[in-house]
Chains A and B, each alone.
Chain A
Amino acid sequence: QKEVEQNSGPLSVPEGAIASLNCTYSDRVSQSFFWYRQYSGKSPELIMSIYSNGDKEDGRFTAQLNKASQYVSLLIRDSQPSDSATYLCAVLTGGFKTIFGAGTRLFVKA
């Protein structure tokens, strides 16, 4: 089992729809969780961090964390073509190491 798992996609949604990206992790004592957006050929850009159970909203982005289920998700409301990118889930494990998922490719169709 990979330490951080994401569906590689591609996930295709129409413009204006909600895109839902999911991530599961294996280290139960992980405390910090991050979502990065990476455009093709560019570096990962931190868009959300979440540390406690529940939802955290920032503009069109909502991160959801459920530590009991070892699950973290990212919702993108009113998806735009410019949101098309690879979204990386990253987890700071109990060993203080950040582990990245392989990423989910998102396509937002105009």
Chain B
Amino acid sequence: EAGVTQFPSHSVIEKGQTVTLRCDPISGHDNLYWYRRVMGKEIKFLLHFVKESKQDESGMPNNRFLAERTGGTYSTLKVQPAELEDSGVYFCASSQFSDKYFGPGTRLTVL
């Protein structure tokens, strides 16, 4: 069974540009989560989808971040416009119940 996949694995952009990250959860997992780890800090929750609905988006830093999960399958996280402090590793995870399975992450560098 395929695990959680994320694309791209790395992204380097300039401040002010837009970047879209994609996550494909494990097939059949209704729950999809986005997390971010800034260097030297803990993994921080961003938001949680149940199917196509946003269950909890309290961790989204500001309105430059927009997450979607159309059709309840894959999800995208768009950062527009990107700022320097957005650099970090963005992880996606999926679960059917409590156990979350993480994707490989997207390392975002904003210059």
Neighbour of B45 across the interface among A42, A43, A45, A97, CB < 8 A: A97
Q: Mark A71-105, 1 if CB is under 8 A from B, else 0.
A: 00000000000000000101010001111111100
How many chain-A residues does the 8 Å CB contact rule pick out? Answer: 22
Residues of chain A contacted by B98 (CB below 8 angstroms): 32, 34, 49, 51, 92
The answer to the question of B111 belonging to the interface, with a C-beta cut-off of 8 Å to chain A, is no
- Cα A73 to Cα B56 with chains together (Å): 29
- Cα A49 to Cα B45 with chains together (Å): 19
B43 touches A46 (CB 8 A): no
Residue of A nearest to B33 (CB): A98
The answer to the question of A9 belonging to the interface, with a C-beta cut-off of 8 Å to chain B, is no
Known: A32-B98, A43-B91. A100 touches B43 (CB 8 A): yes
Q: Mark B49-64, 1 if CB is under 8 A from A, else 0.
A: 0000000101000000
The answer to the question of A44 belonging to the interface, with a C-beta cut-off of 8 Å to chain B, is yes
Taking residues whose C-beta sits less than 8 angstroms from the other chain, chain B's interface range is: 10 to 19
Can you give 16 A-B contacts (C-beta < 8 A)?
A43-B102, A43-B105, A44-B43, A45-B102, A46-B99, A46-B100, A46-B102, A49-B98, A90-B100, A97-B48, A98-B100, A99-B45, A100-B42, A100-B44, A102-B41, A103-B42
Residues of chain B contacted by A101 (CB below 8 angstroms): 42
Residues of B at the A interface (CB closer than 8 Å) are 33, 35, 41-45, 48, 56, 58, 91, 98-105
Residues of chain B contacted by A90 (CB below 8 angstroms): 100
- In the complex, how many residue pairs between chain A and chain B have their CB atoms under 8 Å apart? 43
Residues of A at the B interface (CB closer than 8 Å) are 4, 32, 34, 36, 42-46, 49, 51, 88, 90, 92, 96-103
Measured CB to CB, the closest approach of chain B to A28, in angstroms, equals 18
B104 touches A42 (CB 8 A): yes
Residues of chain B contacted by A42 (CB below 8 angstroms): 104
- Cα A98 to Cα B99 with chains together (Å): 11
Residue of B nearest to A2 (CB): B42
Residue of B nearest to A33 (CB): B98
